[in-house]
Amino acid sequence: DAGVIQSPRHEVTEMGQEVTLRCKPISGHDYLFWYRQTMMRGLELLIYFNNNVPIDDSGMPEDRFSAKMPNASFSTLKIQPSEPRDSAVYFCASSPATAVIGGPDTQYFGPGTRLTVL
């Protein structure tokens, strides 16, 4: 398996533009997580899905952020309109309900998308 795939790896955009980040979880995983990492706030959980259904979106900073998971193999995180303070590395992670290696709850992270909003 290729692991969790995220695209793009880097995104530079101007304030006010719409940004869409994409994630393909590991096949067969039931859970998908979106995180944001900055030096100031560390790693923050934004939202997570179980079987394509959003379970907890309390970490989504404001209405400009939205996430969807239309099927088990694809999720998007959208920021509209983007602001400079949204600059961060955005990670997607997936987790099986049970795992052969690492035990249950192990999360497998993608390489991240580095977003810069000018």
Partner 1 sequence: SQQGEEDPQALSIQEGENATMNCSYKTSINNLQWYRQNSGRGLVHLILIRSNEREKHSGRLRVTLDTSKKSSSLLITASRAADTASYFCATRTNDMRFGAGTRLTVKP
Binding site for partner 1 (CB under 8 A): 4, 33, 35, 42-45, 48, 55-56, 91, 93, 102-112
Between 3 and 84, whose beta carbon lies closer to partner 1?
Answer: 3
Q: How far is the CB of 82 from partner 1 (least distance, A)?
A: 22
C-alpha to C-alpha distance for 5 and 22, rounded to whole angstroms: 8
Q: How far is the CB of 26 from partner 1 (least distance, A)?
A: 12
What strands lie across the sheet with 65-71, from one edge to the other? 5-7, 19-24, 74-79, 65-71
CB atoms within 10 A of CB 29: 19
What single-letter amino acid sits at 41? Answer: R
Q: How far is the CB of 55 from partner 1 (least distance, A)?
A: 8
Between 35 and 65, whose beta carbon lies closer to partner 1?
Answer: 35
Token output for 75: 């999720």
Between 30 and 44, whose beta carbon lies closer to partner 1?
Answer: 44
Token output for 84: 């400079």
Going by the DSSP 8-state scheme, the letter that residue 25 receives in this structure is P
Q: How far is the CB of 81 from partner 1 (least distance, A)?
A: 25
